[in-house]
């Protein structure tokens, strides 16, 4: 018996060492807090999924900029565990992001979230550095023009300089850099952004990605970034990896998937994409996530437990992030009285799910 238990412990210990090796960040100079957070996210992802919401603390249905308020908290009693923030228009030196959220608020939200052991994530719908058009433009040659050697490379470098200035303001009480998930150049397998797959070759996209990460790490000395690679649609592993920049440039791999009325289609598409994601995550030792999802206006009162949760129970997912609660025509999380609010409470109470109330600030300081 004793021998058996010892053997068991040895095996567990050995497995622990192996998994610890596999949970290193791609940035070998990552700060201690960033590395610990990432390892803990790997650990939690073995059994649980952290729920996330875009712009959660900034506004919701019928309110904006009320300290402490959150639609997710109003429904469940807890804030989400992951908080998505948008950086679009940071590149323009604008005081507010493209959705009207002041950057100074975002800095304060990020610090609040960090202090309670929540996790911050950034997306960046930046304007085209060549044409000045929005992220939703398809000029065909921008990526080629902004990679090293391109005639507008300097304009892109300025974007990254602004990003670095912003990130350098995200510091904890001891002056430590607050770890953040950075999910640049997302949904690149789609055709709607200027960095999409009809806009550049795989080599150009990869060159842009690698330059972005190298410049932020090496020139700007940012070592608090957990890099997220997040596709839109894909049908095969080959599609998913066509523009993959390499294991040294990515920590989280995921995809964005929204439901559009047809639940059967959504479920089968999620299954297909998850199966591929799981394989890639295992082979590349990366952390899988459902980096954006939602059903606009959530008209199905059981969507959370009947559609989303079964997928989350089937596939390893570090976190799932629903998009923003902007207005009555555009929201993705329930608010009190919304059709799916009761079901969302069940989703929240499911042992699989982690919200803010199950996370502690030690997620940044102590290995679980
Ligand atoms: C989109 C919409 C837009 C918004 C953008 C960036 O999906 O919510 O209204 O500007 O995300 O946050």
Atom of ligand 1 nearest to the CA of 99: 10
Do residues 323 and 292 touch, judged by C-beta distance below 8 A?
yes
Beta strands in 34-81 (DSSP E): 49-54, 59-60, 63-64
- Which residue from 54, 98, 99 has its CB within 8 A of the most atoms of ligand 1, so it is best to mutate? 99
Query: Ligand 1: distance of its center to the CA of 12 in Å?
Result: 45
Q: Which residue has the CA at smallest separation from atom 9 of ligand 1?
A: 99
pTM of the model: 0.94
Region 49-75: mean pLDDT is 99
| Most informative mutation of 53, 89, 134, 324 for ligand 1 (most atoms within 8 A of CB) | 324
Which atom from ligand 1 is nearest to the alpha carbon of 330? 8
pLDDT of residue 8: 45
The set of long-range contacts for 132-138, using a CB threshold of 8 Å and a minimum separation of 24, is: 133/194, 134/98, 135/88, 135/193, 135/194, 136/192, 136/193, 137/193, 137/194, 138/191, 138/192, 138/194, 138/196, 138/198, 138/199
> Is the pLDDT score of 17 beyond 70?
no
Expressed in angstroms and rounded, the spacing between residue 5 Cα and the centre of ligand 1 is 54
- Give me the chain's average pLDDT, please: 95
Q: Is the pLDDT of residue 39 over 90?
A: yes
126 C-alpha to center of ligand 1: Å? 11
Task: Tell me which residue has its CA closest to atom 12 in ligand 1.
Answer: 86
Index of the ligand 1 atom closest to the CA of residue 54: 12
Ligand 1 centre distance from Cα of residue 167 (Å): 21
Residue 261, pLDDT score: 85
pLDDT number for residue 346:
99
Predicted pLDDT of residue 7: 45
**Helix count (H) and strand count (E) of the chain?**
11, 11
Q: What is the pLDDT of residues 90-115, one digit of tens each?
A: 999 999 999 999 999 999 999 999 99
Region 228-237 average pLDDT = 98
Tell me which residues have their CB closer than 6 angstroms to ligand 1.
86, 88, 98-99, 125, 323-324
């Amino acid at each position: 018996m004793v021998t058996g238990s010892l053997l068991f412990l040895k095996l567990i210990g050995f497995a622990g060492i192996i998994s610890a090796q596999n949970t290193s960040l791609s940035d070998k100079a990552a700060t201690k807090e960033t590395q610990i957070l990432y390892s803990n996210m790997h650990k939690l992802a073995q059994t649980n999924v952290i729920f996330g919401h875009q712009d959660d603390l900034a506004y919701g249905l019928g309110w904006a900029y009320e300290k402490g308020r959150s639609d997710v908290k109003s429904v469940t009693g807890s804030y989400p565990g992951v908080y998505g923030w948008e950086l679009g228009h940071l590149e323009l030196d604008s005081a507010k992001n493209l959705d009207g959220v002041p950057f100074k608020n975002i800095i304060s939200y990020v610090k609040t979230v960090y202090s309670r052991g929540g996790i911050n994530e950034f997306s960046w719908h930046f304007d085209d550095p060549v044409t000045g058009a929005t992220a939703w433009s398809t000029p065909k040659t921008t990526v080629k023009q902004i990679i090293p050697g391109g005639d507008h490379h300097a304009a892109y470098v300025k974007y990254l300089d602004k990003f670095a200035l912003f990130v350098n303001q995200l510091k904890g009480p001891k002056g430590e850099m607050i770890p953040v998930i950075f999910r640049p150049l997302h949904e690149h397998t789609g055709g709607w952004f200027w960095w999409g797959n009809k806009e550049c070759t795989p080599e150009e996209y990869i060159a842009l990605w690698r330059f972005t990460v190298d410049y932020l790490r090496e020139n700007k000395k940012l070592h608090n970034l957990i890099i997220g690679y997040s596709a839109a649609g894909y049908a095969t592993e080959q599609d998913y990896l066509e523009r993959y920049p390499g294991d040294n440039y990515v920590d989280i791999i995921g995809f964005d998937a929204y439901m559009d009325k047809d639940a059967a289609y959504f479920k089968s598409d999620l299954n297909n994409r998850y199966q591929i994601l799981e394989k890639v995550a295992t082979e590349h030792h990366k952390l899988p996530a459902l980096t954006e999802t939602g059903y606009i206006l959530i008209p199905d009162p059981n969507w959370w437990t009947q559609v989303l949760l079964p997928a989350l129970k089937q596939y390893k997912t570090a976190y799932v992030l629903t998009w923003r609660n902007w207005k009555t025509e555009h929201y993705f999380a329930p608010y009190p009285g919304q059709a799916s609010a009761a079901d969302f409470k069940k989703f929240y109470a499911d042992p699989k799910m982690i919200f803010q109330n199950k996370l502690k600030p030690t997620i940044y300081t102590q290995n679980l």
